[in-house]
Amino acid sequence: MGSKLPAMKGRLFTIGLISSWYFSNIGVLLLNKYLLSNYGFKYPIFLTMCHMTACALLSYIGIVWLKLVPMQTIRSRSQLMKIAALSVIFSTSVVGGNISLRFLPVSFNQAVGATTPFFTALFAYLVTFKREAWITYATLVPVVAGVVIASGGEPSFHLYGFIMCIGATAARALKSVLQGILLSSEGEKLNSMNLLLYMAPIAVLVLLPAALIMEPNVMSICVALTRQDKFMAFLLIVNSAMAYFVNLTNFLVTKHTSALTLQVLGNAKGAVAVVVSILLFRNPVSFIGMAGYTLTVIGVILYGESKRRLK
């Protein structure tokens, strides 16, 4: 009985972590959609800046005060420049994703986002000339075909939103490829929480002038809106805090399970997000659109399986 208790506690802890990861991932996605589309808060760059500000503050508290993970220091100017480059690409991907949510339903946004493995394989080849096995490339065919089918069958298709979503997905994939190259040496490797600690403040410095130029008077408009509706300030704070917890729970789930488990859970998370968003926002869906999304998810699962077997 004594040996079973710690094992059960361990399982419950893992289940709790995974549940928290699901809740924060799907929660921030749905809140972004609600704020940018349904609530009428039309400032995706400023919203992303709020996310990055929360990530910077909460990362500092989590690492320096709470000591969730050991502090890792930047060792050279070169390493700092690499982190800055990753931060700009990361910010671009988040802004693009948030802009797309203004124009696209969450279900279609998730379908396009599922093509990340395609862009990862593409950038890995273009940047590092790394070739995958033919079977791995073959699994990317349904990934892309599914999105093409879903696009044709999407009742709420919006070209600008679609372009932004594709751009965000490509930027996310490029960031993961470059991160593997730029921070590959033992002296420069950072765990994801320390990387976020350094990337987030740089992202804020990049996004602040972008928001002021591209979303003029956003600060005064936000102040006026929060005076009119205190609930909006609450939504912004909760939404920004959840953006940090997405990264924290992502790190903890990977640490306590494995990268493969995270990949499998991520595929299921996309499907859960689609169902929840359709129930909440009542956006119209077609049989062709759902069939396309299903084909994409099947392709992503096959891609992950082929990568695992060839390791």
In a domain? residue 268: yes
As a whole number of angstroms, the distance between CA 68 and CA 198 comes to 16
* More confident site: 77 or 270: 77
Report if residue 95 sits inside a domain.
Answer: yes
Contact 52, 207 (CB under 8 A): yes
Residue 3 DSSP SS3: coil
3 lies in some domain = no
> At CB < 8 A and 24+ separation, what contacts does 304-309 make?
304/117, 304/260, 304/263, 304/264, 304/267, 305/139, 306/133, 306/135, 306/136, 306/139, 307/132, 307/136, 308/260
As a whole number, mean pLDDT of residues 107-120 equals 92
Domain count for the chain: 1
Report the pLDDT averaged over residues 141-147: 93
- Single-letter code of the amino acid located at 89: I
Query: Is residue 213 assigned to a domain?
Result: yes
Range of the domain at 101: 21-310
The span from the first CA to the last CA of the chain, in angstroms, equals: 38
- Which among 246, 258, 236, 254 has a CA at the least distance from the CA of 90? 246
As a whole number of angstroms, the distance between CA 270 and CA 192 comes to 22
Alpha carbons 54 and 18: distance in angstroms, whole number = 22
Write down the pLDDT at residue 3: 55
Would you say residue 236 has pLDDT above 90?
yes
**Torsion sign, CA atoms 32, 34, 38, 40:** negative
Chain centroid to CA 256: how far? 20
Average model confidence (pLDDT) across the chain: 90
Which residues make Cβ contacts (< 8 Å) with residue 111, sequence separation at least 6? 146, 147, 150, 274, 289, 292, 293, 296
With 80 as the cut, is the pLDDT of residue 1 above it? no
6 is a domain residue: no
In this structure, is residue 279 part of a structural domain?
Answer: yes
Residue 5's pLDDT is 65
Long-range contacts formed by 206-213: CB under 8 A, 24+ apart: 206/87, 206/88, 206/91, 207/45, 207/46, 207/48, 207/49, 207/52, 207/91, 207/95, 208/49, 210/45, 210/95, 211/43, 211/45, 211/46, 211/49
| pLDDT average, residue stretch 94-122 | 93
With respect to residue 12, please indicate whether it lies within any of the assigned structural domains.
no
Q: pTM for the whole thing?
A: 0.91
Residue 4 lies in a domain: no
pLDDT value of residue 63: 96
In sequence order, the 6+-apart residues with CB closer than 8 A to the CB of 174 are: 89, 119, 123
Tokens of 134: 């033919």
